Amino acid sequence: MSTDVKIPQASTQAHHPDAKGVKLPIYMDNHATTPMDPRVLEEMLPYFMEKFGNAASRNHSFGWAAEEGVETARERIAKLVGATTKEIIFTSGATESDNLAIKGVAEMYREKGNHIITAVTEHKAVLDTCKRLEKYGYRVTYMPVQKDGLIDLDDLKRAMDDKTILVTIMAANNEIGVLQPVTEIGKLCRERGVIFHTDAVQAIGKIPVDVNKQNIDVMSITGHKLYGPKGVGALYVRRKNPRVQLSALIDGGGHERGMRSGTLNVPGIVGLGKACAIAQEELPQESCRLAGLRNRLRDRIMNRLDETYINGSMEHRLPGNLNISFAYVEGESLLMGINDIAVSSGSACTSATLEPSYVLKALGTGDDLAHSSIRFGIGRFNTEAEVDYVADRVIETVERLRELSPLYEMAKEGINLKDVKWAGE
Amino acid sequence: MSYSDKVIDHYNNPRNVGSMDKASTDVGTGLVGAPECGDVMKLQIRVNRETNVIEEAKFKTFGCGSAIASSSLATEWVKGKTVDEALSIKNMDIVKELSLPPVKIHCSVLAEDAIRAAIGDWKKKQESSKPVSVEAR
């Protein structure tokens, strides 16, 4: 006797009569990048063909006009984070900013010590930079995180010694959206005389950031996560209490107070500035709206489906982030089923290295649930109708794939999958 | 990475999804892969004892689109073949049929393993149910 399973046809918008007002495909992957805000583009346009001068050309109006655009942007960024304009330097993006911050501090303070502390859940731009420094003889401590994704402040305290020169911990995680206790980390570092760098790429414009209130010494910022252009970013470098110095990575002309040579990407910088100005204005209402949409998505999905697990703390989390594992369903097959929606997964099948997400692994999430995870990044341009559509498509695809899943079948029969001796182990 | 039309077709319209009675002596069950690896395939066959022909096949898979397509295709291919003919199915045949990219070749390997495991299980059942011959004095 065999049981035939009728698999419903994969559905499309045509099957959803109430999908009005939903334009496909839907973009809900705002942690990967964001669409540019039209106001940002408008602000940038004059700097391509009219005010196209080199901002370093001191002697003519073309240069002055470009410089003015740059300095306005610098002010806007400084204002958003509570810094002074002299403390903002421009780079090609967050990866460069992270490299400059970490390598720059490491080299400058080599006489003082060679120990750096970071966390296992950092972005590769930080982790790979630390790995390179290890090759040059620096000692790096990669702190673990707790089940909710947060570091333990007592662990950090214990990890610090008299050779520690830098702590680098991100303000908000790109995969699980978890917010680290930046203010407390900064306070601890200030007490111990250790420089504190934070990769604030996912946090800027989404949650309030203040370099003084939060005791931040160095901070990485990028444009393309806050509706600004790709290829441009900034680095905050504290000038007072304490004064932080960096060794430059790039030599050639001494731009940006000697910290970052190279002709400035004026249109990009103008765009970054405008994006920050918009964020400054709209942050409170926007973060409230996004949290509402995110909770709506979460509740709609989790009220319908069982065995779904949120990865990372819900309490300390970016308002637009949701990262859920759907047991017994593999992530890439789920993405395939919702192919009119852009999100991402922690599954090995979706990564370039064929490894499951190291961030989920650090939380203690089993590999099987890491393979079953989906990251949703709700942003400025997502609507309630889109959230409902996405939730419904996810639900029906998960239900469909569970009918196809031998793991679901075994679980329903009461078999504990952890007790099974798998052929592939 | 975009999928071939055939992979998409198998994903949207998988063939032979379901389960057979594991305990039946006509049924061979192959369970391969591991949840930690992101790939688990269960492939079952019902074999006609007289003709050794695989009359029915069913599958269930936890894995990516290529894994689902590979196992779905495997059930299509084994049906109507004798057990020995089915053993000659090679993973590269699956790769070719579904136009799998290099990074997905392992899915086809797992499907081939699943076929072998199912046939192996069925064969073991046939061995243990054979009447023991008594030597005539």
pLDDT digits (tens, 9 = 90+) for A76-109: 999 999 999 999 999 999 999 999 999 999 999 9
Task: Count Cβ atoms below 10 Å from residue A312 Cβ, excluding itself.
Answer: 27
* Number of H-type helices and E-type strands within chain B: 5, 4
Q: Are strands B18-20 and A139-143 parallel, antiparallel or unpaired?
A: unpaired
Q: State the Cα–Cα distance between residues A307 and B134, nearest whole angstrom.
A: 55
A31 and A82 share a domain?
no
Q: For residue B34, which residues of chain A lie inside 8 Å, CB to CB? A: 422-425
Asked if the structure places residue A6 within a domain, the reply is: no
A327 and A391 share a domain?
yes
Contact A180, A151 (CB under 8 A): yes
Residue % of chain B over a pLDDT of 90: 87
Type of residue numbered A186:
G
Residue % of chain B over a pLDDT of 70: 95
A242 and A270 share a domain?
yes
A217 and A179 share a domain?
yes
Q: Is A1 on the interface with B (CB under 8 A)?
A: yes
Task: Give the domain-ending residue among A246, A279, A312.
Answer: A279
Residue % of chain A over a pLDDT of 90: 90
| pLDDT computed for residue A7 by the predictor | 65
**Closest approach of A361 to chain B, Cα-based (Å):** 11
User: Nearest chain A Cα to B23, which residue?
Assistant: A1
CATH 3.90.1010.10 at B5-122, yes or no = yes
A340 and A403 share a domain?
yes
Residue A249: strand, helix, or coil:
coil
Q: State the Cα–Cα distance between residues A8 and A11, nearest whole angstrom.
A: 8
* Token output for A348: 């090995």
Between A385 and A10, the higher pLDDT residue: A385
Give pLDDT < 50 ranges for chain B: none
Q: For residue B36, which residues of chain A lie inside 8 Å, CB to CB? A: 366-368, 371, 422, 425
A158 and A51 share a domain?
yes
Q: Of A306, A316, A364, A370, nearest to A344 (Cα)?
A: A370
Q: A348: pLDDT confidence band, cut at 50, 70 and 90?
A: confident
A347 contacts B11? CB cut-off 8 A: no
Asked if the structure places residue A425 within a domain, the reply is: no
* Token output for A26: 């839907």
B39 contacts A330? CB cut-off 8 A: yes
A293 and A377 share a domain?
yes
Q: Which residues of B touch A (CB under 8 A)?
A: 3, 8, 11-14, 17-21, 24, 31-42, 44, 46, 56, 58, 60-65, 67-68, 103, 110, 113, 117
Backbone angles phi, psi at A12, to 5 degrees: -135, 180
CATH number, domain of A374, equals 3.90.1150.10
| pLDDT computed for residue A10 by the predictor | 57
* Token output for A342: 């852009």
**Closest approach of A2 to chain B, Cα-based (Å):** 4
A104 and A174 share a domain?
yes
| pLDDT computed for residue B37 by the predictor | 87
Q: Is A10 on the interface with B (CB under 8 A)?
A: yes
CATH number, domain of A104, equals 3.40.640.10
| pLDDT computed for residue B1 by the predictor | 54
In chain A, residues 283-342 whose CB comes closer than 8 Å to chain B: 328-333, 336-337
Task: Give the domain-ending residue among A259, A279, A299.
Answer: A279
| pLDDT computed for residue A17 by the predictor | 47
* Sign of the dihedral through C-alpha A14, A18, A23, A29: negative
A23 and A80 share a domain?
no
Segment A14-50, tens digit of pLDDT:
555 455 679 999 999 999 999 999 999 999 999 999 9
Type of residue numbered A312:
G
Task: Give the domain-ending residue among A279, A308, A333.
Answer: A279
Q: For residue B20, which residues of chain A lie inside 8 Å, CB to CB? A: 1-3
Segment A254-279, tens digit of pLDDT:
999 999 999 999 999 999 999 999 99
Distance, CA of B76 to chain centre: 9
Q: A351: pLDDT confidence band, cut at 50, 70 and 90?
A: confident
| pLDDT computed for residue A354 by the predictor | 76
A228 and A363 share a domain?
no
Q: If you average pLDDT over every residue of chain A, what do you get?
A: 94
Segment A316-327, tens digit of pLDDT:
999 999 999 999
* A3: pLDDT strictly greater than 70: no
Tally of structural domains, chain A? 2
Q: For residue B101, which residues of chain A lie inside 8 Å, CB to CB? A: none
Please compute the mean of the pLDDT values over residues A156-185 and round it to a whole number: 98
A423 contacts B34? CB cut-off 8 A: yes
Domain containing A350 equals 13-36+283-416
**Closest approach of B134 to chain A, Cα-based (Å):** 34
Segment A221-231, tens digit of pLDDT:
999 999 999 99
Q: Of A237, A241, A231, A282, nearest to A258 (Cα)?
A: A237
Segment A47-68, tens digit of pLDDT:
999 999 999 999 999 999 999 9
Find the length of chain A: 425
